[in-house]
Amino acid sequence: MNHIVLHTKNIFINFKTGHNRKIHMVFIPMLLSLFSCEDFVEVDPPRTEISRVEVFESDGLANSAISGIYVDMFAGTFASEMNRNNGLLADDLLDYTETSDFINNSLMPMTAEVNTYWGELYNYIYSANSIIEGLEASTKISLDLKNQLEGESKFVRALCHFYLLNLFGDVPLIIASDFRANNVPSRTGVSEVYDQILRDLDEAEQLLSDDFSFSGGDRARPNKYAAIALLARVHLYLGNWEDAELWSSMVIEASDFELVTDLNEVSLLNNNESIWQLRSTLDIGSNVRDASFYILESAPTLVSLREELVNTFEVGDNRRTDWIGEITVDGITYYYAFKYKVRDDGTQPITESLAMLRLAEQYLIRAEARAQLGDFSGAQSDINVIRNRAGLGNTTANDQNSLLDAILNERRLELFTEGSHRWLDLKRTGRADEILGPLKSGWQATDVLYPIPFEEININPNLTQNPGY
């Protein structure tokens, strides 16, 4: 990693590794009472304490450090652009830019977005590692807050390693902030990275608050159930069906969560279906950038939904009515994702947030786990919860194969344009070749993984390239 940034709401701590091993600190106006926004301090390496005197001397500053990661996630490419581009890699979106390497699954090690996603995810990991280490060294932070922030940091670290692993395959496992130790890391095997993800989430589940009281009811900060929800997803990906059923059941049975009855509310701030959201920290401004990507007011210049996806919805499916819009230009009808309703100009009240973890996914996780375990009636029941909420009748699937097909289909219809689910689902279920091969010219089985960024291989001789690149 050649450029690692801890960017908090109040502090930017910029690690530059590789050939220029300097650490820069810039304090921005929210700390004017302590520092000038013009302050610039250059510290010679080695340094692994990353200004813990300033950050971990008070509950307020420590809180700002973790909040800053979520601010960066919301403003960066991880939650929005990456999700959109993975929709192009899969079979949900069409591209109109004529410059995208994603629509034809023709990514290259020099593709700019590949380098950006790698760098952003590792930035968040370094930030989380730095907070964990700062909390361990601090004697000034209250115990309850220390536990909460450590839990959040381990949740973030697990989430980022999860996406890196599923996009790139074997990736460096980074669990410390010391740039010397991490200067030229090798790729770590998938199973070892998953072991660390599970350890982080198990520990986060023990450390995090049971409810949202610590954040004043705001679901933009993960609590215990965010860790549990991600544990359910990870165990599903690993084929640990009993554990996937166990953890998803814990979320489903928790009193803080219920499916919203009105599908138009699924992206509203702090709705009861949301387990964890990313949101603007402003009262007025831009809601969710995904709305500007997807909502069409004229012929598309970026993306639209594939007609094949739109036609997959059954007659009477309220998701088709409420979550998909359409516009006809010069006799051509274009379809667009309409889960987010506010395509604003930066002057609107903040009413929406980016769905990162929500209850509907947990029902579908449990349905799949139950189908794999032979509990067909239990799987049907969970599928029917999702279908009935969408205005549909019960599933007709009644054996393992038909249930697994039905679940994959429901996941596509329920989770499209969220969390890169469709792309990851096709990969993990082994359906990518079957579904994408006939659809994408030049498709190769090796396209299921991103290439390792050229820039990273260029500066790190210990990194190897993925097959096919």
| Burial (CB count <10 Å: 0-12, 13-18, 19+), residue 185 | middle
Q: Which of 107-116, 251-260, 277-286 has the lowest mean pLDDT?
A: 277-286
- String of DSSP letters for 99-130: --STTTT---TT-HHHHHHHHHHHHHHHHHHH
**Beta bridge partners of residue 290, listed in sequence order:** none
pLDDT, position 370: 99
Angle at 261 between CA 258 and CA 265, to 5 degrees: 90
Q: How far apart are CA 1 and CA 130, in angstroms?
A: 16
Give the single-character DSSP code of 188: B
Residue 182 CA from chain centroid, whole number: 24
Give the single-character DSSP code of 185: P
Q: State the pTM of this model.
A: 0.90
Q: Which of 131-140, 178-187, 406-415 has the lowest mean pLDDT?
A: 178-187
Q: How far apart are CA 86 and CA 290, in angstroms?
A: 13
The model's pLDDT over 338-358, given as tens digits with 9 standing for 90+, comes to 999 999 778 889 999 999 999
Tell me the backbone φ, ψ of residue 59, rounded to 5 degrees: -60, -40
pLDDT, position 276: 98
Residue 4 CA from chain centroid, whole number: 19
Tokens standing for 423? 């792309």
Structural domains of the chain ordered from first start: 1-92+102-208 (1.25.40.390)
Q: How far apart are CA 430 and CA 408, in angstroms?
A: 12
For the segment 313-325, the average pLDDT, to the nearest whole number, is 98
Could you tell me which of 202, 191, 112 has the C-alpha nearest to residue 157? 202
pLDDT, position 284: 86
Q: Is the pLDDT reported for residue 5 higher than 50? A: no
pLDDT, position 286: 82
Mean pLDDT of the chain: 89
Q: How far apart are CA 438 and CA 428, in angstroms?
A: 19
Q: How far apart are CA 431 and CA 2, in angstroms?
A: 35
Q: Which of 167-176, 285-294, 352-361 has the lowest mean pLDDT?
A: 285-294
Tokens standing for 1? 């990693």
pLDDT, position 24: 30
**Beta bridge partners of residue 324, listed in sequence order:** 337
Tell me the backbone φ, ψ of residue 93, rounded to 5 degrees: -125, 155
The model's pLDDT over 433-457, given as tens digits with 9 standing for 90+, comes to 999 999 999 999 999 999 999 999 9
Question: Which residues have C-beta within 8 Å of that of residue 331, sequence separation ≥ 6?
Answer: none
Q: How far apart are CA 66 and CA 8, in angstroms?
A: 7
Share of the chain above pLDDT 70, in %: 88
The residue type at 441:
S
| Burial (CB count <10 Å: 0-12, 13-18, 19+), residue 346 | exposed
Q: How far apart are CA 463 and CA 115, in angstroms?
A: 14
Could you tell me which of 160, 143, 183 has the C-alpha nearest to residue 45? 183
pLDDT band at 163 (very low <50, low <70, confident <90, very high): very high
Tokens standing for 391? 């205005």
pLDDT, position 53: 53
pLDDT, position 108: 97
Tokens standing for 434? 């079957």
| Burial (CB count <10 Å: 0-12, 13-18, 19+), residue 239 | exposed
Check the CA dihedral 198-199-204-205 and report its sign: positive
The model's pLDDT over 231-272, given as tens digits with 9 standing for 90+, comes to 999 999 999 999 999 999 999 999 999 999 999 999 999 999
Q: Is the pLDDT reported for residue 375 higher than 60? A: yes
Question: Which residues have C-beta within 8 Å of that of residue 437, sequence separation ≥ 6?
Answer: 443
The model's pLDDT over 377-425, given as tens digits with 9 standing for 90+, comes to 999 999 999 999 999 999 999 999 999 999 999 999 999 999 999 999 9
For the segment 99-116, the average pLDDT, to the nearest whole number, is 96
Angle at 161 between CA 159 and CA 166, to 5 degrees: 100
For the segment 347-371, the average pLDDT, to the nearest whole number, is 97
Q: Which of 46-50, 218-222, 269-273, 465-469 has the lowest mean pLDDT?
A: 46-50
The model's pLDDT over 20-78, given as tens digits with 9 standing for 90+, comes to 333 232 232 333 233 223 332 233 333 334 455 568 889 999 999 999 999 999 999 98
CB 115 within 8 A of CB 453: yes
Give the single-character DSSP code of 29: G
pLDDT band at 10 (very low <50, low <70, confident <90, very high): very low
Question: Which residues have C-beta within 8 Å of that of residue 139, sequence separation ≥ 6?
Answer: none
Tell me the backbone φ, ψ of residue 353, rounded to 5 degrees: -140, 165
pLDDT band at 282 (very low <50, low <70, confident <90, very high): confident
Query: CA–CA distance from 342 to each of 81, 99, 268, 337 (Å)?
Result: 17, 27, 10, 12
Tokens standing for 157? 């670290």
For the segment 185-200, the average pLDDT, to the nearest whole number, is 97
pLDDT, position 458: 95
Q: How far apart are CA 306 and CA 401, in angstroms?
A: 26
Q: Which of 95-99, 148-152, 230-234, 363-367 has the lowest mean pLDDT?
A: 95-99
Q: Is the pLDDT reported for residue 297 higher than 90? A: yes
